[in-house]
Amino acid sequence: MDAQLHKIASLALEAMLCEVSATPKPGLVDRFNCGAHRDMDFFTFMASAAALHSTFDDMTSAGYSASLSPPTMWPELRRAGREAESLMFEATHGVNTHKGEIFSLGLLCGCAGWLAGREEVLSAEKLTALAAEMCRGLCERELVRLRKGEARTKGEQMFLRYGCTGIRGEAESGFRTVMEVSLPVFRELMIEAQGDRDPMSPPAPRAERVSLNDALVQTLLHLIAGTADTNILSRHNMETAEYARGRAREVLALGGFLTAEGRLATEAMDRDFIARNISPGGCSDLLAVTYFLFRIEAREAEK
């Protein structure tokens, strides 16, 4: 069982590495540039991810060891999450690279551990439903009762300003955006990309298949088009968030990153977002969640 739990934690790390490696990601750190950021680059993300692996092991084990209902693991997940943030800031010299992914992937690791402890099949639907159960009432407890002047985090500030519940609301909804927008897109692209092959085997020539990188970028475009990104809101305003959605929709109308015209438009969108200081970091977190859920299911299918 220890090997199974460790594999779940490894998939969380894999999700973080694949998310940052997908290129180009408009306004975000990738292998080509630093996006709309001045304090981090690709290697900052590598150092951060490397520092976090043990905490995903801890979160998975916390779920596995929870003796009663899923909420009983919540205090331990929160403790491990705070420790993970400390390790991240130590590795990055104070830069926030993965705070959203620590919360989302850590929660899902805990849920996966809980299900594994009961010898249940791990599926995206079961994991996200369990996450929703775990987070029931979270927005009420941590956001709705906030008053002006009490907001400490960007998520809390965005709730008071726009009523956006951010990653808390996404988790409490059972990651509805992922389940309804990004995971169906990514599943379909990976079926096209890999056929009957191992999902992690080297991609076939682009003329015949969709590569993993292109599937990730295409999925990100769908996320940007379908959400009002809270990271964009924290840097700018609702008008800018709607502008980003509109740009993504325009690119998707050209075929997105799967056509020659759409690829050029994606690259132009990246330059535009960098110039405007637009960084859809909330969408990048959901991209990592999408990848994690897909790989969990792929692993189950291999058993």
One pLDDT digit (tens) per residue for the chain, 303 residues: 588 899 999 999 999 999 999 999 999 999 999 999 999 999 999 999 999 989 999 999 999 987 667 777 888 899 999 999 999 999 999 999 999 999 999 999 999 999 999 999 999 999 999 999 988 887 767 665 655 555 566 666 666 676 676 788 899 999 999 999 999 999 999 986 665 455 455 444 343 579 999 999 999 999 999 998 989 998 889 999 999 999 999 999 999 999 999 999 999 999 999 999 999 999 999 999 999 999 999 988 876
Fill in the amino acid letter for 23: T
Pull the structure tokens for residue 106.
């850590």
Could you tell me which of 9, 1, 120, 134 has the C-alpha nearest to residue 68?
A: 134
Residue bearing tokens 């205090």: 75
Q: What's the whole-model pTM score?
A: 0.91
Q: Where are the alpha helices (DSSP H) in 66-165?
A: 74-92, 99-117, 124-134, 138-139, 154-162
Give the pLDDT score at 287. 98
Pull the structure tokens for residue 232.
């964009």
Rounded CA separation 180/298 (Å): 19
Q: Where are the alpha helices (DSSP H) in the chain?
A: 2-21, 42-65, 74-92, 99-117, 124-134, 138-139, 154-162, 166-172, 176-177, 183-194, 212-226, 230-235, 238-253, 260-276, 281-302
Burial 243-266 (b: 16+ CB within 10 A, else e): bbbebbeebbebebbbeeebbebb
Answer yes or no: are the C-beta atoms of 165 and 106 closer than 8 Å: no
Rounded CA separation 102/18 (Å): 15
Answer yes or no: are the C-beta atoms of 60 and 9 closer than 8 Å: yes
Rounded CA separation 48/50 (Å): 5
